[in-house]
A and B are shown apart, each in its own frame.
Chain A
Amino acid sequence: MNKLFSLILCVSMVTLANGQDLARRIPSDAFAVVNIQTAHFFDLMGVEDFNQSAIGSMLLEKARSAGFSSVNSVADFGLDLNRTSYFYTVLTDSTKHYNFLVPIADATVFEQQFIRDEEVEEKDGFRSFVKVIDEDTTIFAWDSGTLSVTSTALVDGYFEQSEVADRYGIRNYNYYDYYDEAAADTVSAVDYDDYGYYDSTAVAVAVAPDYDDYDDVDVDTAEAFDEGDKYDDSMFLPPPALDSTAMSFPVPVDAAADSAWSEDTVYELSAPPAVEYDSADYDDGNPYDEYYAADEQIKKGLATQWSRAFTANLFNQAPAESILSNASYVSSIQDDALITAWLSNFESAYLAWLPELMLSGSTGSLFSHYGSLRAGLYANDAGFRLSTDLEIAPQLAKSYKRIYGRKINRKFLNYLNSEEAIGWFAFAMDTKAYLEELPSIMKDTYGGLLGQHEQEITLAADVVSLLLDETAIANVAKGDALFILNGITEEEVPYIDYEYDDNYDYKEVEKTKMETIPDFLLMFSSDDSKLYDQVTNYIYQKGLVSEMDGIFSVEESDLPFGLYFTRRDGIIFLGTSSEQLHDIAANRYRGKISRAHRNLIRKNKVAGLLSAKKLATEIPTEELQSLNRYIAFHKLFGSMGDFYFQSKGITGTHITGDFVAETPAEFDNAVQYFFALVDYAMQDQ
């Protein structure tokens, strides 16, 4: 995203907002919509506090250096600090429109800040200027209450269709066409005159796009042009007709030797080229670069023209149905969120941004099982929460419901000590259901995608299903597990060094050094004691493990830590602490799980937690060699709250998940905490 967009985003993010009025300008078929609810942001952090924060100061400083003089507060941009800003995209078969809608509080103040040195046009109740940013045209348009910032990208595939290319005079010339033509000696008599020169008149006719005929524009963009009569055509950029003198001409193979081809003539007709060439390219005579530049010029002209039409439509005609009539979108809006994002359709997103998927002719059902995606970033006194909700097809939901049908083994909780653990990760799924559902999901999802292998995939899925004894496997690993990172310990490990005598003869000597080793415990449910006994007996006989009191120790391991395992009460334990494993086997180990951790694990299908504070205390001082690093590390991480994520799996036809960064007790809310962290980090630099 370019700097100006970033600035707009930053400013709009700090623009207080509540109302939904600008959303009425967003059509109901918008592809994705982001609400930036800055009103809530400033509920949590005052405007003045923001101005004085490191981020706020930087924003204001950058604004001033960019020419926004007399800006001393985010409130000075003239933007409305009490309404919601939006970012949305509208897709058609030929265009991708990206638009910011930002509420304006005082258009006079806004204009004083934003339109200096710009050529402003005023028509039909709104003002606008065009700015080229990173070679892309962006249209800034506003009326008394709304700023619209529009950038339009074209869908390349659309212009590769021959009838579309012909309509706009786009050549889609392939780099190798020139050599193919030369090889076939098929220099067209129509294209070249008697001297072998390109017929520029023919080119001009061929490439002049018919801009008057708006009906020729694709269906969706044509809608935008229906209102075209209201505008003065001069507002649009002139058609990007090619300048014949700016083109260089392909030199036919046999024309090179033509005596009529004088140097002067060549210079006059072929200069100046639109692109700078090195001599090697120039001599080659391949017109690819010129044609490509000409195509791009036409496309840019179209993009600008359609972008202008989009903007004009926005200000002059409310959509027949606004996004506010879209129930899925409306359900994504949450008043207490800082930002909410809504994506209408997962499959469309992939196809819009990864059109290559269509090349295989079929996407199978890879994405068609997924519907809308909703996400919200919340901040409150508890912390930041990023919540996501993905809608899936009922059939897939049914499969997932079966897969996530298991609850985590309650006995796991006895082995978690919340006060000591740095972090943990827990999940519960049903291995049997997973193995039973997998073949059909695989068939359904990938079969169509790899069209030519559909039969093989179907066959493989059936064979896998036939071969596996799902029940037997599920008995070995039922599908739930808990991984606990209990700590990071320092351990003395040996290494080989050399000792040199007076004659520099040397011998190997063993020395030791301290290394940090993770101390973890993994547990998973397993009902099949017979297989466990058989396997352990086998590897014991082979000398791969040693055994003491039912605790097996992995021998000759390459791992930098000892690894032990045992089985008790239908659970297989694998860990790095021999002492802990022995305590578990002897039923001496007593964990102490907090209520919060218990709820997180029990009420979710997948959950994980990391305590940055505990991690900070566990990192050995040796690893933070300098004092500055030590202080910075502890100050930054030592005051951080816990991070955790949770997912309840499937609820109805939705997969939901949350990522939470908790606010430490000494901060009022997550926003203040975040800004304090940034302030500190920037001071530290």
Chain B
Amino acid sequence: MSTKRLFFLFPLLLSGLLCTSCFQLIEEVSVKQDGSGTAVLTANLSQSKSKLAAVMLLDSVNGYPVPSKADIRRELEQLVSELQQTDGISNVAYTLDFNTFIASISWSFARVEDLNTITDRVFEKMKVTTANHASYAYLPATKTFSRTYVYEPAAKKEFDKLKAADQAVFENAIYTSIYRFDIPVVSNSNPIAKVSASKKAVMLQSPLMDLINGRKNLSNRIKLAN
């Protein structure tokens, strides 16, 4: 540990221990009638930025190594590079702001199904634990967009293995998904999802803990107007 890090250890630990954590994950998918579209994944850790700034000064926290800013940037750039090589994916871009601790990655896709191959990799690279086995599909003929979500009990088991301090990080975390279409939504099967005033967007918000515990389901079948 460098002198600088050692020097700040005590006050920062004190600060870190007393902070409660919170973060948001936002998944935004815009689908055109032909099944192509754009997607943006955003991780907003801004509410925990004081704690994260403090943690970034340390080599490890709660036994986990803390990556440097350069490491995080390198990982994201590598992810972008990999996505650019993926069939059906284009216009890959990312933002990373260490002042606000907000990161996002966006891309265009040729078919909705292309989302399936990359979503997992994105979450994996962003070190975000999800209980989510997502499966997206779009049938242009019936103009039906569907997302199949299967609760994974293993995620809860993994979560239970975490130390209490690490579990607390997820306590107030929020997951948001927004699906946008260029034609109106006729029906949506998930009771916790809401349709926008314009009828062209569907939003679902859930505490991440409810997904980890399997109390909420993200599956949805959205029928669009013909």
Which residues of A are at the interface with B, using a C-beta cutoff of 8 A?
Answer: 483, 485, 488, 493, 495-498, 500, 502-506, 513, 515-518, 520, 558-561, 576, 619-620, 623
**In the bound complex, CA of A505 to CA of B201 (Å):** 9
**In the bound complex, CA of A494 to CA of B143 (Å):** 43
Number of A-B residue pairs at CB separation under 8 A: 76
Contact of B47 among A495, A500, A517, A558 (CB under 8 A): A495
> Known: A497-B46, A498-B24, A619-B18. Contact between A558 and B102, CB under 8 A?
no
- A557's closest neighbor in chain B, by CB? B53
Known A518-B14, A560-B54; further 18 A-B contacts with Cβ < 8 A: A483-B10, A493-B50, A495-B47, A502-B196, A504-B196, A504-B203, A513-B47, A515-B15, A515-B18, A516-B19, A517-B50, A518-B15, A560-B12, A560-B15, A560-B49, A576-B11, A619-B18, A623-B20
Collect the chain A residues with CB atoms within 8 Å of residue B2's CB.
none
Q: How far is the CB of A665 from chain B (nearest CB, A)?
A: 27
Q: How far is the CB of B179 from chain A (nearest CB, A)?
A: 9
Q: How many interface residues does B have (CB within 8 Å)?
A: 33
Q: How far is the CB of B49 from chain A (nearest CB, A)?
A: 6
Collect the chain B residues with CB atoms within 8 Å of residue A559's CB.
8, 12, 53-54, 57
B106 interfacial contact with A, CB 8 Å: no
**In the bound complex, CA of A450 to CA of B50 (Å):** 43
Contact of A504 among B14, B57, B201 (CB under 8 A): B201
**In the bound complex, CA of A498 to CA of B205 (Å):** 13
Collect the chain B residues with CB atoms within 8 Å of residue A488's CB.
14, 18
Residue pair B178, A504 in contact (C-beta under 8 Å): yes
Residue pair A503, B198 in contact (C-beta under 8 Å): yes
Q: How far is the CB of A589 from chain B (nearest CB, A)?
A: 20
Q: How far is the CB of B66 from chain A (nearest CB, A)?
A: 13
> Known: A498-B24, A559-B53, A559-B54. Contact between A503 and B196, CB under 8 A?
yes
The 4 A-B residue pairs with the shortest CB-CB distance, nearest first, are A560-B50, A502-B197, A516-B18, A496-B46
Collect the chain B residues with CB atoms within 8 Å of residue A558's CB.
53, 56-57, 98
**In the bound complex, CA of A619 to CA of B50 (Å):** 17
**In the bound complex, CA of A126 to CA of B100 (Å):** 76
Query: 0/1 per residue, B12-41, Cβ < 8 Å to A?
Result: 101100111000101000000000000000
**In the bound complex, CA of A500 to CA of B197 (Å):** 12
Residue pair B18, A498 in contact (C-beta under 8 Å): no
**In the bound complex, CA of A582 to CA of B102 (Å):** 35
B44 interfacial contact with A, CB 8 Å: yes
Q: How far is the CB of A683 from chain B (nearest CB, A)?
A: 22
Collect the chain B residues with CB atoms within 8 Å of residue A495's CB.
46-47, 49, 100
> Known: A495-B47, A503-B196, A520-B11. Contact between A515 and B26, CB under 8 A?
no
**In the bound complex, CA of A623 to CA of B180 (Å):** 39
Best-buried of B24, B50, B51, B53 by chain A (most CB within 10 Å): B50
Contact of B15 among A500, A502, A561, A619 (CB under 8 A): A561
Q: How far is the CB of A269 from chain B (nearest CB, A)?
A: 46
Q: How far is the CB of B218 from chain A (nearest CB, A)?
A: 16
Q: How far is the CB of A615 from chain B (nearest CB, A)?
A: 10
**In the bound complex, CA of A515 to CA of B50 (Å):** 8
> Known: A516-B18, A517-B15. Contact between A498 and B26, CB under 8 A?
yes
Q: How far is the CB of A560 from chain B (nearest CB, A)?
A: 3
Collect the chain B residues with CB atoms within 8 Å of residue A502's CB.
196-198
- B199's closest neighbor in chain A, by CB? A503
B200 interfacial contact with A, CB 8 Å: yes
Residue pair A496, B100 in contact (C-beta under 8 Å): yes
**In the bound complex, CA of A497 to CA of B22 (Å):** 11
- B14's closest neighbor in chain A, by CB? A518
> Known: A495-B46, A497-B46. Contact between A503 and B200, CB under 8 A?
yes
- Would you list 19 pairs from A and B whose C-beta atoms are within 8 A, ordered by A residue? A493-B50, A496-B44, A496-B46, A497-B44, A502-B198, A504-B196, A506-B178, A513-B47, A515-B19, A515-B50, A517-B15, A558-B57, A558-B98, A559-B8, A560-B50, A560-B51, A560-B53, A561-B11, A620-B18
Collect the chain B residues with CB atoms within 8 Å of residue A561's CB.
11, 15
Collect the chain A residues with CB atoms within 8 Å of residue B44's CB.
496-498
Q: How far is the CB of B94 from chain A (nearest CB, A)?
A: 17
Q: How far is the CB of B167 from chain A (nearest CB, A)?
A: 15
Q: How far is the CB of A100 from chain B (nearest CB, A)?
A: 36
**In the bound complex, CA of A620 to CA of B14 (Å):** 13
Collect the chain B residues with CB atoms within 8 Å of residue A485's CB.
11, 14
**In the bound complex, CA of A488 to CA of B10 (Å):** 13
Q: How far is the CB of A491 from chain B (nearest CB, A)?
A: 9
Collect the chain A residues with CB atoms within 8 Å of residue B18's CB.
488, 515-516, 619-620, 623
Collect the chain B residues with CB atoms within 8 Å of residue A498's CB.
24, 26, 44
Q: How far is the CB of A304 from chain B (nearest CB, A)?
A: 40
Collect the chain B residues with CB atoms within 8 Å of residue A576's CB.
11
**In the bound complex, CA of A517 to CA of B51 (Å):** 10
Collect the chain B residues with CB atoms within 8 Å of residue A513's CB.
47
**In the bound complex, CA of A505 to CA of B20 (Å):** 28
Residue pair A503, B201 in contact (C-beta under 8 Å): yes
Contact of A500 among B46, B102, B203 (CB under 8 A): B203
**In the bound complex, CA of A264 to CA of B100 (Å):** 75
> Known: A493-B50, A558-B56, A559-B54. Contact between A516 and B15, CB under 8 A?
yes
